[in-house]
Amino acid sequence: MDCKKIQEQFTRHLESSLSEGASSDVEKHLKSCSDCQKELDEMKAFLLVLESQEMEKPSSNLRMNFARNLAVEIEEKELKTIPLNPKQNWKLYLRVAATVLLIVSAFLLGKQQANITRIAKNIQKGDKKEVLDLLKNNSASKRILAVYSAEKFTKKDTKIIQALINRLFFDKNTNVRLAAAETLLKFSSERMVRDALIKSLETDKSTAVQIELIQILSKIQEKRALKPMEEMLKKEETPQYVKQQLQLNLPSLL
Amino acid sequence: MVQIANGKLESLSILFDRYHVRIYNFFNKMVHDKMLSEDLTQDVFVKIIKYKASYKDGNFAAWIYTIARNIFSNHYQKTKKERSNLIDDEVTPEVILASKSNKEELDYLQKALLRLPISDRELIIMHRFQEIKYNQIAVIMGSTENAIKVKVHRAIKKLKVIYFETQKHGL
Amino acid sequence: MKKIYLLILFVSTIVTAQKKEFKYALTGVKKIVLESSTQIILKAANISALTLSENNDHHSEHFFQKDQDHHEHDEGRKDKRKGLTAIYPGGRDNTSGFGFSIIKEGTVLYVIDLKPNFKRHGIKLILPKSINLVINAGRLGSIEMEGFTGEVEASTNIGKIEMKNVTGPITANTSVGKIDIDFDKVSQTSPITISSSVSEIDVTLPTNTKANLEIRTQGTVYTNFDLEMPKKKGLQNVSGRKNIVSKLNNGGVKIFIKSSMGNIYLRKK
């Protein structure tokens, strides 16, 4: 066997992955070939150098970014399987957030706690669908929570704004309607919001909501509210304290 | 692994734990650039998260290294254009790839590695540093076990030569 | 268990004492919606049934007796109404003559008072303390409750709302009536909202309550908590509207207390 072919088997020979027969052939050759022996020795030494290489550790960013990507993916996946029953949604929302937090915290180091809560908060805040569903919850307190969460959205989120307007008109609970009116103040630059506020002033049966609307409409300087307010002032059945509020705020609209 | 295909994303985190250091080191041995290696590793796992569903049973290690190699070659293609603009012709492309990015002193072995052609470098990294078996590498590279064995040996030999030369001349 | 209740029912109707009671088992009920326009008193107990009783007004005893149910077992009573149930505009009386319609829908029990305010002199209900409650006292009714740990929604118009030893979440609203709520401890589950149009609101919280407070009124705010005082922002103070946003014990559940005109009293305990 020529040296070249023998040498080609050196790596495997040193790894002991050659067959017995081939291995003994190599040994035999080496006994009589000093060049090959030298080459083998070099190879052996070099393989040791290779073996001495250590695995390096990446920074913690790698783990964090993976956790974030995974969390986003899980959240998106869970949202696709949300049942239609509104009663379930608050629990599901919590479950998704909890699952995500578990996964994220399961492999982030203790130092990273701040990031976990930040991720969780981002998931909470950004979730339009969850807020929309929570707005239909059976519990008035949870609907109020949803209404205040809706403040985080922008005026471009027409679905949210529409849902808030629905709460303003149709919610059975006075406090929810009140909260809706307050939150809609943030979106008062939108025409449809101003229209809704005026309409609500004319139709809402609760004096608490009426008073709140009077204050809001005068704050945003909605001149179109002047007429309905004057009508209200004239009506006999308007309670005295509502009239007081009207008298207080009307002047600012004139 | 089939679990992942069925959407159990939680198991992905276990896989991350198992492979991310190895993949990171794979890239780092290829390019000797920590930040770049982290970016590339992240890309690998983003792909895994996204395409887990299409993984249809089989060899996870082979799958992940295939993704890693693809990502590396994409990166290499992208940076090729940058490299071709450089004036110095004598220096081989692989060396430029390395010296552009690192600030620390490369050890001789790493320097030697970077002087190897990419295909040889890959083989050595996978077999010697990542300790992937010959038959696995054969699957990943689409070759036969015996062919891989020969190629690995030749690559090691080349590296050895370059290594001792590098040491000698202190390059 | 049911047999015992039936027995009690029989016994309570036969032994016609001054106070008559109506009992209803609450298995599977998580929430009670109560509508009535009289004075409503609710007491919490460690039971799993609803006990309803009316306040007897001595002067109108005769009037009251006319409405009494004549149970089949009650011999000797000759009455046209014997064996018949009353039907009111709001529904059918299925509470043996108490004048309520009780309907169960899923886990919600609707308890609707069918009689108008002037025919009532107040009702009292004993309920499980952890049940969730929605109470509407109509235009004239008022609400008094003690010892409940579930979620409560309460609304009145001119009547007052008084709650003691509750935990919340509470969503309470009146137009003219006073609100007085004394918390045992404060549930962190979801927001607490207490609002009134005109009248004053008096809220007592445990000193170590964690909360994000928001108090708003055109009246005056009195408190012995350490609150951040409202900042003066030009026009906002002209209308006299005060808006106090403050954290208690580094923050926690949202508590909104709003009155348009009334004073607000926030007490420590």
* pLDDT tens-digit map of A138-147: 899 999 999 9
What's the pLDDT score for residue B170? 62
Output the domain CATH number for residue A182. 1.25.10.10
User: Is pLDDT larger for residue A82 or for residue B5?
Assistant: A82
Specify the long-range contacts of residues B130-136, CB closer than 8 Å, at least 24 apart: B130/B22, B130/B25, B130/B26, B130/B65, B132/B61, B132/B65, B134/A17, B136/B59, B136/B61, B136/B62, B136/B65
Residue with tokens 């991350």: B16
pTM: 0.53
Q: Which two tokens stand for residue C5?
A: 């209740």
Sign of CA dihedral A226, A228, A231, A237: negative
Tell me whether residues A174 and C258 touch, CB distance under 8 A. Answer: no
User: Is pLDDT larger for residue C220 or for residue C165?
Assistant: C165
Cβ neighbours of A176 in C, within 8 Å: 171
Domain range for residue A178?
Answer: 153-254
Minimal CA separation from B87 to chain A, in Å: 33
A188 is a domain residue: yes
Interface size, chain A vs chain C, as Cβ–Cβ contacts under 8 Å = 80
> What value does the mean pLDDT take over residues A196-212?
91
Lowest mean pLDDT among A19-28, A136-145, C119-128, C225-234: C225-234
- Beta carbons within 10 angstroms of residue B78's beta carbon: 9
SS3 A244: helix
What's the pLDDT score for residue C74? 41
> What value does the mean pLDDT take over residues A223-252?
90
User: Is pLDDT larger for residue A67 or for residue C171?
Assistant: C171
Confidence at A122, pLDDT banded by 50, 70, 90: low
Confidence at B9, pLDDT banded by 50, 70, 90: low
CA separation for the pair A210, A245 (Å, rounded): 9
DSSP state of C91: E
Residues with Cβ within 8 Å of residue A252, at least 6 apart in sequence: A218, A221
Tell me whether residues B12 and A53 touch, CB distance under 8 A. Answer: no
Tell me whether residues B21 and A57 touch, CB distance under 8 A. Answer: yes
Domain count along chain A = 2
* Closest of C114, C140, C139, C130 to residue C52, by C-alpha: C114
Cβ neighbours of A215 in C, within 8 Å: 239, 241
CA distances in angstroms from A46 to A11, B9, B30, B131, C124, listed in the order given: 11, 42, 19, 16, 93
> What value does the mean pLDDT take over residues B39-50?
90
Residue with tokens 């969460």: A149
A128 is a domain residue: no
A62 and B CB contact within 8 Å: yes
Candidates C132, C176, C191; nearest CB to A144: C191
Concatenate the DSSP letters of all residues of C110-141 into one string: EEEE-S-GGG---EEEEEETT-EEEEE-TTT-
Lowest mean pLDDT among A154-168, B100-114, C52-66, C113-127: C52-66
Q: What is the ipTM of this complex?
A: 0.77
What's the pLDDT score for residue C244? 87
C158-191 b/e (C-beta count within 10 Å ≥ 16 → b)? bbbbbbbebbbbbbbbbbbbbbbbbbbebbebbb
Minimal CA separation from C171 to chain A, in Å: 6
Minimal CA separation from C82 to chain A, in Å: 39
Residue with tokens 């012709």: B89
**Cβ atoms of residues C160 and C179 within 8 Å:** yes
Check pLDDT > 50 for residue B103: no
Tell me whether residues A59 and B25 touch, CB distance under 8 A. Answer: no
Neighbours of chain C (3+ CB pairs under 8 A): A
**Cβ atoms of residues B93 and B62 within 8 Å:** no
**Per-residue pLDDT reduced to its tens digit, B10-40:** 567 777 888 899 999 999 999 888 899 999 9
Check pLDDT > 70 for residue A81: no
Residue with tokens 């509750």: C166
Cβ neighbours of A106 in B, within 8 Å: 13
Residue with tokens 């992937």: B132
Candidates B20, B124, B156; nearest CB to A58: B20
Cβ neighbours of A62 in B, within 8 Å: 20, 24, 38, 41-42
C151 and A CB contact within 8 Å: yes
> What value does the mean pLDDT take over residues C86-92?
79
CA separation for the pair C216, C237 (Å, rounded): 12
- Strand-pairing partners, residue C202, are C180, C265
User: Of B43, B128, B157, which to mutate for an interface test with A (greatest number of A Cβ within 10 Å)?
Assistant: B157
Lowest mean pLDDT among A59-63, B136-140, C55-59: C55-59
Candidates A141, A206, A215; nearest CB to C151: A141
> What value does the mean pLDDT take over residues A80-98?
55
Task: Give percent above pLDDT 90 in chain B.
Answer: 25
Tell me whether residues C153 and A140 touch, CB distance under 8 A. Answer: yes
Lowest mean pLDDT among A79-83, A150-154, C157-161: A79-83
Residue with tokens 């011999």: C75
What's the pLDDT score for residue C261? 82
Q: C–B contact (≥3 CB pairs within 8 Å)?
A: no
Task: Give percent above pLDDT 90 in chain C.
Answer: 45
Identity of residue B60? F
Confidence at A106, pLDDT banded by 50, 70, 90: low
A23 is a domain residue: yes
What's the pLDDT score for residue B91? 43
Tell me whether residues A174 and C195 touch, CB distance under 8 A. Answer: yes
What's the pLDDT score for residue C237? 34
Confidence at C56, pLDDT banded by 50, 70, 90: low
C119-145 b/e (C-beta count within 10 Å ≥ 16 → b)? ebbbbbbbbbbebbbbbbbbebbbbbb
Q: B–A contact (≥3 CB pairs within 8 Å)?
A: yes
